[in-house]
Amino acid sequence: MGGIAAIARQAGHRVTGCDANVYPPMSTQLEAQGIELIEGFSSDQLLQFETMPDLFVIGNVVSRGNPLMEAILNQGLPYISGPQWLGEQVLYGRHVLAVAGTHGKTTTSAMLTWILEFNGYQPGYLIGGVPLNFTVSARLGEGKYFVIEADEYDTAFFDKRSKFVHYRPRTALLNNLEFDHADIFADLAAIENQFHHLVRTVPSDGLLVVNGQEPALERVVTRGVWAPVERFGQEVSNEWSLVSQEGDGFMVRKSGKEVAVVKWAPESGVMGQHNQLNALAAVASANHIGISPADSARALAEFKNVKRRLETIGVANDITIYDDFAHHPTAITTTVDGLRRRVGKARILAVLEPRSNTMKLGVMKAQLPSSLEQADQVFAYGANAGKESLGWDLAEVLSPLNTKKQDKAQAFDDLDALVKAVAKEAKPGDHILVMSNGGFGGVHQKILKAITA
C-alpha cells in the first residue's frame, strides 16, 4: 500500500494515508515524498480534510469494524482496493512483468527491475521492499514496462481474490509455491487455485516462466495454460538452467548452451543457491522482452540487493549484525544457509521473531527446528513466549535443538532479556542474524548498542 501511495503521488495526486503501525523504511520513504501519515484508524480523520478525498484506496489489513472504514461505508464515500486501483489506473495498457511465488518475490522483482533499468528501459515498478539500486520501493516509470511483485494474499475485505489477478501480466514469473498464509488459505490446493487464476489472465502471446523444480507449480500448469511456458531450474532438462561457479557466481544455460555468466559484486550481499535461481528466473523473464542473457548478466553484476535481505546493520567488536525479512521456515532455511556459505565455520547467532500470521497460528512450527539447524545459537522471541500469546509454546517447539551436550535454543517473552542474552553470548568473529517480517522492537540497534557497551 505504501508503494501504491508513492505511485499515486508521482502520478500527480495528493495522497494521505493511515495505518495502525507505521515504521521505517516505508514511513521515511513516504514522508520524503510529501505523503502525510496518520497513526490509527479513527473516524475523526474524515473531519480533518479541507476537501473530502475523491477516493479511498483500501488495503487488505482493513476489515469490517474498522472505525474509519465503517464511517466511509455509512457516508457512502467512494472506495476501491489497492490492487484494483493499480490495475485500472497504472497497469492498463502496459507490458506487466509479474513476479509471483511463496518466496523470493521481492528480491527477484528487484533483480528484474534493475535489469530493465540498467538496459535503458526506464520501467515502472512496485516492490515489497526497498531495492538498494533505487531509492524507493515504487515508481510510476516512463516506459511501457512495469515490474510488479505479485502477491497471492487476498485483495481486500470486499474482494477475496488474490491481489495478482488484478495485474494481468504479459510476462508471468512463477518462482515457487508452498503452503503459506494459513489465516486465509485452508491448504496448498487453495493457493494453487489462485495461481491458476493468474495463469488464466496471461495472453496467448505472453509468457509463463515457471520453476521446473516445484511440484505444486507443475500441478498448476497441468490444469491448463494458454501461453508458452519456459521452465527454469538447476537441471539441464529445463529450458533455462545454471551451473554454480566458485564465489557464488553461476553460468546461465539456455537449451543446454552457455549464454551468460553472472558474477555478483562482492559488496552486494547476494548469496546462496536460492538467489542464483531468483536471478536465473529474472534473466529468463527479461529475455522475453528482448534483453539478452549477457546484458542481464552485466546488470546483475551491479545488483545491490534489497533492504532487509541479509542487510548488514552494523559491525562492533568484530561482531556483524544482519537484518533479514525471513518469516517462513523455508525462507529461514535458505537465509541461514546463505550466510553459512559466506562465513564458513564462523558462529551464527540466529535471533528470530515468529511474527507472520502463518507462524502465529503454529501451522509451520514443526519445521522451525530444522530450519535453524545450521545456526550455532538460537534466540527466539514471542510477545509472550508461552502459550498465551502464540497459541503454542515457543520453547517447547525449539527444544529438539537442545541436547545433553548443548542448550542451543532459548525462548524469551522479554525483549530486553533477549538482547542481554545475545550480547552475553556474542564473541568477536560471530555473525548475528536477526529475522522478522516486522520492526522487532528495534532489536538490531539494541543488540549493536549492547555489544559495544
Which CATH number characterizes residue 268's domain?
Answer: 3.40.1190.10
On whether residue 305 sits in a domain, the answer given is no
SS3 78: coil
- Whether the per-residue pLDDT at 417 is higher than 70: the answer is yes
pLDDT, position 388: 47
Distance CA 140, CA 123 (A): 8
Please name which of 83, 104, 102, 241 lies closest in space to residue 169, comparing C-alpha atoms: 83
User: Which of 243, 273, 300 represents a domain boundary (last residue)?
Assistant: 300
Nearest Cα to 293, choosing from 250, 329, 261, 246? 261
In a domain, 199, yes or no: yes
- Of 153, 193, 198, 154, nearest to 173 by C-alpha is 198
Residue that terminates a domain, selected from 43, 62, 77: 77
When pLDDT is cut at 50, 70 and 90, the band that residue 175 belongs to is very high
pLDDT at position 126 is 96
**Same domain, residue pair 111 and 244:** yes
The three-state secondary structure class of 424 is helix
Residue 271 has pLDDT above 90, yes or no: no
Structure confidence at residue 383 as a pLDDT band (50, 70, 90): low
Could you give the 3-state DSSP secondary structure of residue 79?
A: strand
Residue 305 banded pLDDT, cuts 50, 70, 90: confident
Which of 77, 107, 135 lies at the terminal end of a domain, its last residue? Answer: 77
In a domain, 335, yes or no: yes
Task: In whole angstroms, give the CA distance from residue 228 to residue 207.
Answer: 5
pLDDT tens, residue by residue, 122-147 = 999 999 888 888 988 899 999 899 99
Each residue of 69-123: pLDDT tens digit?
999 999 999 999 999 999 999 999 999 999 999 888 999 999 999 999 999 999 9
Instruction: Please say if the pLDDT value at position 239 is more than 60.
Output: yes
pTM score, whole prediction: 0.78
Residues 292, 334 share a domain: no
Task: Characterize the bridge pairing of strands 56-58 and 79-81.
Answer: parallel
Domain that holds residue 9: 2-77
Alpha carbon separation from 341 to 95, 239, 251, 271, 357 (Å, rounded): 37, 27, 19, 8, 30
Report the residue count for the chain: 453
State how far the Cα of 235 lies from the Cα of 255, in Å rounded to an integer: 11
Q: Is the domain of 319 the same as that of 377?
A: yes
CATH of the domain at 26: 3.40.50.720
**pLDDT of 377 over the 80 cut:** yes
Are 113 and 235 part of one and the same domain? yes
Q: How far apart are the first and last CA of the chain?
A: 39
Examine residue 107 and state whether it is found in any structural domain, yes or no: yes
Closest CA to 82 of 169, 13, 7: 7
**DSSP line for 138-149:** EE--SSSEEEEE
Residue 312: CB atoms within 10 Å? 12
The total domain count for the chain is 3
Looking at the structure, tell me whether residues 404 and 343 fall in a common domain: yes
> Are 216 and 174 in contact, with CB atoms under 8 Å apart?
no
For 424-429, what is the mean pLDDT?
94
Same-domain status, 392 and 446: yes
The answer to whether residues 242 and 137 belong to one domain is yes
Q: Indicate if 246 and 353 belong to the same structural domain.
A: no
Highest mean pLDDT (candidates 47-56, 57-66, 244-253, 428-437): 57-66
> Has residue 384 got a pLDDT over 70?
no
Residue 195: in which H helix or E strand, if any? helix 188-200
Domain-located, residue 270: yes
Please give the sequence-ordered ranges of beta strands (E in DSSP) within 267-400, or none if there are none: 311-316, 319-324, 348-352, 377-381
pLDDT confidence of residue 185: 79
d(CA 317, CA 249): 30
Q: Are residues 69 and 90 in the same domain?
A: no
Examine the domain organization and report whether 44 and 98 are in the same domain.
no
Q: Is residue 306 part of a domain?
A: no
3-state class of 33 per DSSP?
A: coil
Can you give the CATH number for the domain in which 315 is found? 3.90.190.20
Q: What share of the chain has pLDDT > 70, as a percent?
A: 96
Check pLDDT > 50 for residue 235.
yes
| Domain contains 370 | yes
- Asked whether the beta carbons of 128 and 151 are under 8 A apart, the reply is yes
Residue 367 has a pLDDT of: 84
Count of CB atoms within 10 A of residue 175's CB?
26
Same domain, 47 and 98: no
- C-beta separation of 222 from 208 below 8 A: no
The three cell numbers locating residue 240:
533455462
Of 308, 303, 275, 304, nearest in space to 26 by CA? 308
Q: Indicate if 236 and 360 belong to the same structural domain.
A: no
**Which pLDDT score is estimated for 389?**
64
Question: pLDDT per residue over 11-63, tens digit each?
Answer: 999 999 999 877 776 788 888 889 989 889 999 999 988 889 999 999 999 99
The answer to whether residue 365 sits within a structural domain is yes
Q: pLDDT digit string (tens) for 328-355?
A: 787 888 889 888 878 889 999 999 988 7
- Spatial separation of the C-alpha atoms in residues 158 and 450, rounded to whole Å: 46
Q: What is the mean pLDDT of the chain?
A: 90
Cβ–Cβ < 8 Å for 134, 116: no
Distance CA 198, CA 167 (A): 9
Strand 311-316 relative to strand 319-324, pairing? antiparallel
Distance CA 341, CA 335 (A): 10
